[in-house]
């Protein structure tokens, strides 16, 4: 069963248990709301269309949260004129969970109040265990390696430059 409802000037297709984002409503978090502008109802293949709305039908919802949407960048430019304007905008939304769709005055389902979700960290023995590193077979080699190489740097020994024989040929005179 689904219905098309007008909420805050926009039309939404809603089903029971579905969560939707609508423009910011003036209700507090956890408040129950009734949307009476039901435009269409589909129930097991039977479609009822309102003219313009279906009287005697209502959609019940609960406000879960108020939040802001993603930033939308508005950029305006006129070529060859040097006109550039950049603005940003974030829309305010309310998250609404649809509780029931039915006739007015029908018995309503029990509404659960939205509680803040807190995740509890469970500490188990497995998560606390520290893995031990496997025994290294190369431990004896590492002990020998520093003995061979000393960590101190020795200054480089300077060797005197060797004299090279001259390879120049004597200059010939001009005639």
User: Which comes out higher in pLDDT, residue 47 or 109?
Assistant: 47
Count other C-beta atoms under 10 Å from residue 171's C-beta.
6
Q: Binning pLDDT at 50, 70 and 90, where does residue 84 land?
A: very high
Q: What are 43's strand-pairing partners?
A: 46
Q: What are the residues whose beta carbons fall under 8 Å from the beta carbon of 53, sequence distance 6 or more?
A: 6, 36, 37, 38, 39
Please state which of the ranges 23-27, 84-88, 101-105 shows the lowest mean pLDDT: 101-105
As a whole number, mean pLDDT of residues 89-117 equals 77
Nearest CA-CA partner of 113 in 29, 2, 24: 29
pLDDT computed for residue 18 by the predictor: 93
- 20 CA to centre of own chain: 18
> Is pLDDT above 60 for 49?
yes
Using DSSP's 3-state secondary structure scheme, residue 85 falls into strand
Residue 15 reports pLDDT greater than 80: yes
Between these two residues, 122 and 169, which has the higher pLDDT value? 169
The per-residue pLDDT for range 164-174, each reduced to its tens digit, is: 776 777 777 66
């Amino acid at each position: 069963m689904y219905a098309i409802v007008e909420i805050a000037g926009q039309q939404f297709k809603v089903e029971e248990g579905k969560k939707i984002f609508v423009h910011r409503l003036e209700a507090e978090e956890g408040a129950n709301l009734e949307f009476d502008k039901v435009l269409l109802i589909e129930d097991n293949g039977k479609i009822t269309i309102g003219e313009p709305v279906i009287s005697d039908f209502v959609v019940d919802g609960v406000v879960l949260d108020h939040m802001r949407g993603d930033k939308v960048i508005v950029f305006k430019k006129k070529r060859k004129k040097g006109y550039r304007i950049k603005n940003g905008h974030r829309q305010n939304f309310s998250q609404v969970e649809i509780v029931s769709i039915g006739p007015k005055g029908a018995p309503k389902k029990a509404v659960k109040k939205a509680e803040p979700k807190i995740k509890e960290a469970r500490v188990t023995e497995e998560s606390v265990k520290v893995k031990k590193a496997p025994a290294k077979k190369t431990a004896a080699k590492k002990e020998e390696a520093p003995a061979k190489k000393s960590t101190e740097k020795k200054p480089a020994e300077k060797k005197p430059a060797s004299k090279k024989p001259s390879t120049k040929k004597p200059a010939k005179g001009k005639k």
